[in-house]
Amino acid sequence: MTIKVGIPKTLFYYNYYPMIETFFDELGVEVVTSDSTSRKVIDAGVREALADACVPIKVFFGHVQTIKDKVDYLFIPRVVCLNKKTIYCPKFLALSDMIKHSLDGLPEIIDNRIDVRGNHFAVWKTFYHIGKRFSNSKCKIFKAYLKAKGNLSKYQDLVKEGYLPSVAMTILKNNNSKQKMSHNYSLRFAVLGYPYIVYDNYVSVNLLTKLNHLGVETVTLEQLPDTWVNKANTMLPKDMFWTFSDKVLRSSYHFFEHGGVDGIIHLTAFGCGPDSMVDKYMELKSKQYPDIPFMSVTIDEHSGEAGLATRLEAFVDMVKRKKEADVNA
């Protein structure tokens, strides 16, 4: 009987799923993902998560509940640091603990710690310890790890070319040829936010699709070259402590200072402590660059289509009029 490992379709899913899936596939383990986020998933998460938890954590709880009875293991690693500089949100570090102490009837949880600070081979060592659950061959585990890293690199390249994660995963999994992306967009917006918010169609209320339908090309943080993001000078006394927050802030400063977009939208989650700080810094920076319109959109478990659609339409119309006025000036 095939062993099944469950992957909640949120949080790290949008960054690392191709690597995780490949690794387990190569070890003969079946990977089962939860369904896409829906009202049912969110409601399930709201019932079980802490009342003061941010929306993404509530969504994660919901995804775990939809998949826990279908698998032998849940993969919820304790990811601390992957760049030797910043760490992930404390709630990310405690995900497996929160799940264990909140939900009943759980399968075994794979929650190995990953922290590259002071250990260059930390990621490999973690995957090796995970792999030992399913194979006694160190060589097989190492080959699975190498193939997984290779697929992650291919996936990241596709995203940087402008493909959304869902499309990039399909191309990679089915060895499909790349789809031509030829559109006549009149505007280009940077849509900045954490990947598990921006790319989750239900949580983001289809923001990217709505902008495309309004004639706006979108560029996200993950589509930027890493060197651009890392070189962006936030002028802060200290770097942000949190990995995703640091990347979002740096990418916003890059766009404000170097242009390349007609507007910037920050998609943020209600109840996220780090995001409240990031959003304020972005707002202050936008005042220094009035030629680049900036809008902050806060979502929660109650966000609806109509209100967001109205705000987006108004913002796009404003930017269009401004651009036309600049051309005719």
Give me the DSSP letters along 251-267: HHHHHHHH---SEEEEE
How large is the angle between the packed helices 122-131 and 138-160, nearest 10 degrees?
A: 120
Per-residue confidence at 50, pLDDT binned at 50, 70, 90?
A: confident
pLDDT of residue 38: 92
pLDDT at 207: 94
Q: What is the CATH number of domain 187-328?
A: 3.40.50.11900
Determine the pLDDT at residue 177: 67
Which pLDDT score, from 0 to 100, does residue 175 have? 78
- Give the domain ranges of the chain: 4-174, 187-328
Cβ pair 34, 66 in contact under 8 A? yes
Q: Which of 31-40, 168-177, 290-299, 308-317 has the lowest mean pLDDT?
A: 168-177
CB contact at 8 A, 234 and 281: yes
What is the chain's mean pLDDT, rounded? 90
Strand-pairing partners, residue 38, are: none
For range 233-239, the mean pLDDT: 71
323, burial (CB in 10 Å: exposed 0-12, middle 13-18, buried 19+)? middle
Cβ 109 vs Cβ 96: under 8 Å: yes
The confidence score (pLDDT) of residue 229 equals: 82
Q: Report pLDDT for 201.
A: 92
> Cβ(124)–Cβ(112) under 8 Å?
no
pLDDT at 329 over 70: no
Please report the pLDDT score of residue 137 as a whole number: 94
Strand residues in the chain grouped as ranges (E): 4-7, 30-33, 73-75, 78-81, 108-110, 113-115, 187-192, 216-220, 263-269, 294-299
CA–CA gap between residue 300 and residue 103 (Å, rounded): 22
Averaged over 255-271, what is the pLDDT?
Answer: 91
- Mention every residue, 6+ apart, whose C-beta is less than 8 A from residue 89: 242, 244, 245, 274
Which is nearest to 193 in space by CA: 102, 138, 265, 104? 265
Instruction: Work out the percent of the chain whose per-residue pLDDT is above 90.
Output: 69
Higher pLDDT, 182 or 157: 157
Is the model's pLDDT at 234 over the cut of 80?
A: no
Residue 200 to residue 165: CA distance in whole angstroms: 10
Is the per-residue pLDDT at 237 higher than 80? no
User: pLDDT tens, 178-224?
Assistant: 666 667 888 999 999 999 999 999 999 999 999 999 999 999 999 99
Stated pTM of the model? 0.91
Dihedral angle over CA of 153, 157, 160, 163, nearest 10 = -110
- pLDDT tens, 7-33? 999 999 999 999 999 999 999 999 999
Q: Decide if pLDDT at 299 tops 90.
A: no
- What token pair was written down for 88? 């992930």
pLDDT in the model for residue 178 = 67
Mean pLDDT (whole number) for 52-74: 93
Closest C-alpha to 278, from 232, 233, 240, 243: 240
Q: What is the pLDDT of residues 85-115, one digit of tens each?
A: 899 988 888 999 999 999 999 999 999 999 9
